[in-house]
Amino acid sequence: AASHAMKRLSSGSFRRHSLFMLILVDKILTQLAMPLGLGLLVLAYAVLAMFLGRRRQALAAAVFAGLLIWAFSTPFLANALSRTLEERIPALPVDSYPVVDVAVLLGGALSPPDSEAGLFELHEASDRVVQAARLYRAGKAPRILIAGGNVFGGDGISEASAIADFLVFMGVGRDDIILESESRNTRENAVNSAAIWRSQGFGTGLLVTSAMHMPRALAAFRKVGMDLIPVPIDYLSGEDDDPFPLLFLPNAASLRVSSLAIKEWLGLLVYHWRGWG
């Protein structure tokens, strides 16, 4: 019996380690496919080509890397890319949404604790949490299902639990919150939430996540049988009303928006290819 238990424990550890490695590789490949990661890879090739005496290739690669990073760092291109996703589903006032059984709130709104205080840090995607609280307080959703675990399977508090504390702080009843604390990506958000959805007997719901993430998330949830009404929030695309030169001058914020848009487009392609959405 002890030997059998040890084998099960070893098997479980191996599966956790394998999942960790798969997620880590996925994160690395995603970063390398982003404009900054890809640009630096091309620049590294330029340095190598220079050492090998291939000056023309080195120059061409260096110029390409610079133009790539420059282009995706401009407000003009960042806004254009983000709008291809964010304008699919318009934002609506809270009062315009119907009354449903539950609001499904996706994680990705908090950063893990980085201090001894152990406090999660809010970032711009925390608009999702505020919007879920608005829906609850407006009587649109009497229950909130939070989906979000620790991405790399750590033993600390899950993001869903941290978001729950924040929602309670904003006036949501603790008994009205349901936690799904095991998921580490959008696909797992959907699969795990669907199991809870069925066990609770829910029939109608709202899906709350960032506008750029909504197309992929909505497709993933509908694939597992949850026909949710989308509630997009956290729009990142700006207005193209800046003076002409500023639209084409690079900045770090625009590079980040471009990278998020590319990540979502790649995610849509992968989810479609794998039959997840």
**Mind listing the pLDDT tens digit for each residue in 68-106?**
999 999 999 999 999 999 999 998 999 999 999 999 999
Say whether pLDDT at 116 is over 70: no
What was the pLDDT predicted at 117? Answer: 61
Q: Read off the pTM.
A: 0.87
110-124, 141-155, 236-250: the lowest-pLDDT one: 110-124
Q: Which helix (H) or strand (E) holds 251?
A: none
Q: Taking Cα atoms as reference points, which of 271, 252, 272 lies closest to residue 260?
A: 252
Q: Which residue has the higher pLDDT, 26 or 98?
A: 98
**Across the strands, what pairs with 209?**
232
Start-end of H helices in the chain:
2-33, 35-51, 55-72, 75-86, 127-137, 159-169, 186-200, 214-223, 244-247, 252-274
Say whether pLDDT at 243 is over 80: no
Average pLDDT, whole number, for the chain? 88
Q: Can you tell me whether residue 101 is helix, strand or coil?
A: coil
* Structural contact between residues 147 and 189, judged by C-beta atoms closer than 8 angstroms: yes
Q: What percent of the chain has pLDDT over 70?
A: 85
Map tokens 């719901």 to a residue: 205
Say whether pLDDT at 19 is over 70: no
Say whether pLDDT at 5 is over 60: no
Q: At what angle do helices 35-51 and 252-274 cross, to 10 degrees?
A: 100
Q: Predicted confidence band at 125 (pLDDT cuts at 50, 70, 90)?
A: confident
What was the pLDDT predicted at 277? Answer: 85
What was the pLDDT predicted at 233? Answer: 95
Q: Predicted confidence band at 189 (pLDDT cuts at 50, 70, 90)?
A: very high
Say whether pLDDT at 11 is over 60: no
- The mean pLDDT of 16-45, rounded to a whole number, is 80
Let me know if 252 is exposed, middle or buried by CB neighbors in 10 A (0-12, 13-18, 19+). exposed
Say whether pLDDT at 242 is over 50: yes
Q: Taking Cα atoms as reference points, which of 206, 198, 201, 204 lies closest to residue 132?
A: 206
What was the pLDDT predicted at 9? Answer: 47
